[in-house]
Structure 1
């Protein structure tokens, strides 16, 4: 059974797509079978994994709204064991179309149930909103990772997000849990970053990942080459941080060398 994890934060620019791409790549390098679902119409995760959106005939939109066969949509990537359900701008209209759709909150859950046995992990990159696409992700997921940038407004919106998670858990998906809060773009040399980290620990005392993702030039450059940072520069601080995060995520269930 796949561990289905939604990466969610309604704030944009906090590192959701970067984390989805690079955590998935790190897990695959560690020998896990991983499926990535790009649920953001911007499609940054799709391009970050080296898939040209212009060449796609079908994407996640077709799975959610047109009941396309999942095998017609899943794409392989450069990393063995890492597959992708891509997104294109077509997904931008899905929020409106889902409003009147039957079982609108369960579309993604139904899709993933047919392939969950094939993967150890499924990572869902959510859009920067709390609309029906994100609700689909939260209904399908077992776990949540919340990426948070180490900035002044880091805690803004987290109360609303946790309220939505609680309501989804109560009404649609009782097993749903917040596995961890991940600090991204972290620079421990600054007073602000340390203050934000302290505030987050106070807000999520038992749910903070020990790993923080640093600000790193190689991490910023990798998407323009369509590669996870582990393929772009495995020795970079960004690559090593995501490997550490993957091992931390695996730690409750197994020992990772």
Structure 2
């Protein structure tokens, strides 16, 4: 388990560099949960295109579709079912092989010798055949963490696509993750408010569970700074978003003295610069349209490729 890294305005650059150094100096994958309790903000397309962008940097990536209700990631990519369904594996892991739960997504490109892509653990409808109460009894939220720990040395990155709620599947993803990437939209107040709830409530709650069931010294998952997922901001829109974020930050401080959300919303802010820049993925019709081709937009459109290369460079690559 990683050492706890607490972010504040004075050390945000240092913490980001530490995360990047950890990634570059260890054979263990960085496990990333892509999460926001708000639906409709593009978590799945973000997960797919981050995986594709990382593969272009020759990184070995595993994607976990851990949303069996919607199964959007598996459907978009037309992932073939794995030899062993994931739910069955988690219940019978002592007599099962991990590799039987993993499918491969690869595309052949002109003038490229080898196919490019990533591995996927497909969504499994088997989870839906078990009632939520019974599911928690059969498979505890730490099982995904245990499973991924066994294959971390086979990948550079493990990305978990999560459902928009805080129940078994999203809790398991946060439990298993080293870091949480939180997409938001500048014009969706709920997505910004839910990002704050994730940072100040859900992550500490899961951290407590880790310490009870795993190790007393186990760390909380580290929340990465938010980003705007799809948006062409004019000055008026930027001002509205900044006003909403200021209210969220102020309310958090009032509710719990010492709770400082500023570096999670404005990672480049200092008292000297007052920099309130937030990384933004611009709108692109190619991203949703790519779902009809069953290919990540990163693989088929240069501008989308550039957007996501910037994102992975900002958050993950040295």
Q: Identify whether the pair has TM-score above 0.5, normalized to the shorter chain.
A: yes
Kindly indicate whether the alpha-carbon contact (under 8 Å) linking 1:39 and 1:125 is maintained by their aligned counterparts in 2.
Answer: yes
RMSD of aligned C-alpha atoms?
A: 2.4
CA distance in 2, matches of 1:207, 1:156: 12
Work out whether residues 187 and 193 of structure 1, in 8 Å CA contact, stay in contact via their aligned partners in 2.
no
Aligned to 2:21: none
State the secondary structure of the residue aligned to 2:127.
helix
Q: Unpaired runs of 5+ in structure 2?
A: 1-27, 108-115, 211-217, 250-260, 268-277
Contact conserved, 1:152 with 1:192, CA < 8 A, in 2?
no
Residue deviations 1:196-250, cap 9 Å, x none? 25644774422347531122100111112111111121x22x3321111111123
Worse-matched range after superposition: 179-188 or 76-85? 76-85
1:185 aligns with 2:222: no
1:194-209 equivalences in 2 (<5 Å): 194-196=239-241, 199-200=244-245, 203=249, 204-208=261-265
Q: Which of 298, 302, 306 in structure 2 is aligned with 1:240?
A: 306
Distance 1:135 1:126, change over 3 A: same
Q: CA deviation at 1:57?
A: 5.3
SS across alignment from 1:76: strand
Residue 11 (structure 1) aligned with residue 34 (structure 2)? no
Report the CA distance shift for 1:62/1:225 in structure 2 as closer, same or farther (over 3 A): farther
What aligned pairs does 1:129-140 form with structure 2 within 5 A after superposition?
129-140=165-176
* SS in structure 1 of the partner of residue 282 of structure 2: coil
* Structure 1, 156-165 or 37-46: larger mean CA deviation: 156-165
The answer to whether structure 1 residue 21 and structure 2 residue 57 are counterparts is no
**Match of residue 72 from structure 1:** 100
How far off its partner does 1:48 sit?
A: 3.0
Q: What SS class does the counterpart of residue 172 from structure 2 fall into?
A: helix
TM-score (norm 1): 0.86
Distance 2:238 2:284 in 1: 15
Report what 1:49 is aligned to: 77
Residue 138 of structure 2 corresponds to residue 101 of structure 1: yes
User: Which protein has the larger Cα radius of gyration, Structure 1 or Structure 2?
Assistant: 2
* 1: CA distance, partners of 2:88 / 2:242: 40
Q: Single out whichever of 153-162 and 104-113 deviates more from structure 2.
A: 153-162
**Residues 228, 199 of structure 1: CA spacing in aligned structure 2 closer, same or farther, 3 A cutoff?**
same
Post-superposition CA distance 1:48-93 (Å, at most 9, x none): 33415xx555443233344353211211112535111110433334
| Structure 2 Cα separation of the partners of residues 137 and 216 of structure 1 | 28
Q: Hey, what's the Cα distance between the residues in 1 that align with 2:235 and 2:128?
A: 38
User: Unaligned stretches of 5+ in structure 1?
Assistant: none
**CA distance in 2 between partners of 1:191 and 1:90 (Å):** 47
